[in-house]
Structure 1
């Protein structure tokens, strides 16, 4: 059975003097299945919304109203580094081994954690960058100025600083208020990729971010606080300020996307709620869906983490009470990505001119792949091996080698010895029978 884990972060002082809850803990690592438990904790962190990023080896947490990030080692279970930046960090995310950060000055910064290289863009947003998401080839930023910028990740990481001016590829400006959340599909095709943005203008817009086209606008009774795409990108989970949760399907009976949907200019009013939280719990400040989309976790201002069953739509179950505002929930994948290197220790960022040195631990043999490696790591029989076997069957028999001739000769001599022993045994047995008969 797969082990599902997630990481939560809190912000602000304790809500009560409950001595049963650990003090000074800011980040919790939980096991959701097979049974729920808190596996480990990290102290001295106050992490705002959209300010937690988790990799297989580290957790990065920007601090509330501060210009620094706490880096925690998940392998060693302690705080590894304290990293200061020239501006306050408002949001962050991971793009592989690159930490992408949005600042309060409207700037985008990228830190290569294996090299220490730090790339900074001009302040292309007028106000603070409120949320950021990364895809394999793009970075998408939303701001309090209501604009969304789409950046090319390879251009941002260009080694020659004079080769690019760090301009966004597209600017999406259909919203009329601050952007509160962003989520992007994992597809990289220009025809099927899209992202979803939420704003304080009570709307969510589905975009084709590579072309800059608005595909659909969804209106809600109150403004969305956070959202997440289903892992298969078939639906959007949205939590609103009034405590309601919505789960509009993109390809249902009335599809919002695709050739059978209405024109992109048609605005869809979303009114049917998936669920709602009690007033004493408060609206969801953050949410996260499991890897198969069957479990939804929501964090709330009263410190509670609720578990929702997306299949049965039953009353949510309280998993934990963290005694502070829950600001971030991040599921870790039960299927770790296959990488040839591991970042055991991060390299602190520096903008100084120096040698480009990559620091990481090799995860696998870096030599050429042998035939045995290919057969061992393949599912079934590789196509190349099957073709070679079929070709060998169609070839005429070749002359025997010297070794095969020697084996054949030894085999024949052995059979001669066996046959002689059989004949001798038969002759001896026959004489014994004749002697016994003559006596009687």
Structure 2
């Protein structure tokens, strides 16, 4: 049976002297379905909002008002590393094996967890980076200065680049601090978009590859956090007044696409999806399940609430962690297609100029089978002479190889078209013969 799991993190001292809850636990791993339970816990962590990142093997948490990241091994169930950085950390997110870090000085740092390589940009924000969102090709940084910068991930990770790191573009329509960012999983330049939330009581939907503002949503109070559902059909927003709002992107009156109003039209969102009781407090973090049916919210008085997105019933309290819940994130139920696994992270270093990739191959190798070329290359320092010669020869004749491939494909298509044409001709001939036969029989009968 498929299990549904999520991770939560807390920040701050215990709210009461509840002896049933361990005081030094900072991270909880929960099982939501088929039956709710706390699967495991990790100690010595105090992670503020937007300071939790998850991978299949590790949990990363930045510490409140500190320049530290705690790294926990999920398979071993313990703290693996304590990592120090040059500046205090405000937010983090994980993109593959790269941990993106936003600092209080307005800087973006990228740590390759498998090599230890650390890339740092100049302070392009004039205030702290408050939130991050990432895709395989882009990183978005939101700041207290009200701007959202869009960065190219391949350019930032380019080795031996002498160019000074600059964002591709800035999204500058907000008038107050950015409180949340969420980006759609699409990688198409026509369909991908991101949503930013701000203390100016608005959320803006952007095409972040062009810099166009597609729609502005206004709320009764300023948003604290937001999340897109996995298929980017709806935007979930928690506001300071304790209300939860749900804006459907492709509803009867769509926000985007055919049938949508002009981008300059502002949409007022006034009807909440649900409201939090005053004794619980507004949600400081939220996460939508991968099937889009469940919404989890974390609250400053320790509660984790479960909302049914389909039936729209009253929320259910899953747990009370006796401290402010600042991060909630679902674990992906899908198996990874990565060929490698990070067993141990490599601490960051700016002094090194050569790096070693420390990963474990997931493929099972049998000692009884014959060695492949890949095996021999793994056991050879660097690249052998034969591999280099073949690579150089491939660079000298790429056009001929492409031409040969394209010619063969064209011949195959032409042959297929000829066969289809002959089928049509033969069918027409058979129909013509049948028509002539019927005409002859009709004349003979007369």
The bucket for the TM-score relative to the shorter chain is: 0.7 to 0.9
Matched residue, 2:206? 207
In structure 1, what is the Cα distance between the partners aligned to 2:157 and 2:175? Answer: 31
Matches within 5 A, 1:56-95: 56-95=56-95
In structure 1, what is the Cα distance between the partners aligned to 2:4 and 2:334? Answer: 10
Q: CA RMSD in A?
A: 1.5
Matched residue, 1:134? 134
Aligned residues: 370
Any idea what the Cα deviations from partners look like across 1:114-157, whole Å, max 9, x if unmatched?
A: 00000000000000000001101000000000000000000010
Any idea what the Cα deviations from partners look like across 1:177-236, whole Å, max 9, x if unmatched?
A: 000000000000000000000000000000000000000000000000000001110110
Query: Using a 3 Å threshold, how does the CA distance of structure 1 residues 217 and 368 change in structure 2: closer, same or farther?
Result: farther
SS of 2:247's partner is coil
Matched residue, 1:170? 169
Matched residue, 1:280? 279
Query: Using a 3 Å threshold, how does the CA distance of structure 1 residues 35 and 368 change in structure 2: closer, same or farther?
Result: farther
Any idea what the Cα deviations from partners look like across 1:55-114, whole Å, max 9, x if unmatched?
A: 000000000000111000001000000000010010000010000000000000000000
Matched residue, 1:232? 231
SS of 1:239's partner is strand
In structure 2, what is the Cα distance between the partners aligned to 1:26 and 1:280? Answer: 23
Matched residue, 2:307? 308
1:368 Cα deviation from its structure 2 partner = 8.6
Matched residue, 1:350? 349
SS of 2:154's partner is helix
In structure 2, what is the Cα distance between the partners aligned to 1:134 and 1:152? Answer: 10
In structure 1, what is the Cα distance between the partners aligned to 2:133 and 2:277? Answer: 30
1:349 Cα deviation from its structure 2 partner = 0.2
1:365 Cα deviation from its structure 2 partner = 5.1
Matches within 5 A, 1:3-82: 3-82=3-82
1:259 Cα deviation from its structure 2 partner = 2.0
Matched residue, 2:390? none
In structure 2, what is the Cα distance between the partners aligned to 1:274 and 1:141? Answer: 28
1:354 Cα deviation from its structure 2 partner = 3.3
Matched residue, 1:320? 319
Output the TM-score relative to the length of structure 1. Answer: 0.83
Output the TM-score relative to the length of structure 2. Answer: 0.82
Matched residue, 1:418? none
In structure 2, what is the Cα distance between the partners aligned to 1:204 and 1:83? Answer: 34
SS of 2:82's partner is strand
Q: Which runs of 5+ in 1 are unaligned?
A: 370-386, 388-440
Any idea what the Cα deviations from partners look like across 1:336-388, whole Å, max 9, x if unmatched?
A: 3211100000000000133221000001158699xxxxxxxxxxxxxxxxx9x
Matched residue, 1:159? 159
Q: Which runs of 5+ in 2 are unaligned?
A: 366-371, 375-411, 413-446
SS of 1:248's partner is strand
In structure 1, what is the Cα distance between the partners aligned to 2:161 and 2:355? Answer: 14
Matched residue, 1:297? 296
In structure 1, what is the Cα distance between the partners aligned to 2:273 and 2:294? Answer: 13
Matched residue, 2:197? 198
In structure 2, what is the Cα distance between the partners aligned to 1:365 and 1:160? Answer: 35
Residue 359 in 1 paired to residue 358 in 2? yes
In structure 1, what is the Cα distance between the partners aligned to 2:16 and 2:6? Answer: 25
In structure 2, what is the Cα distance between the partners aligned to 1:261 and 1:91? Answer: 34
Matches within 5 A, 1:213-252: 213-252=212-251
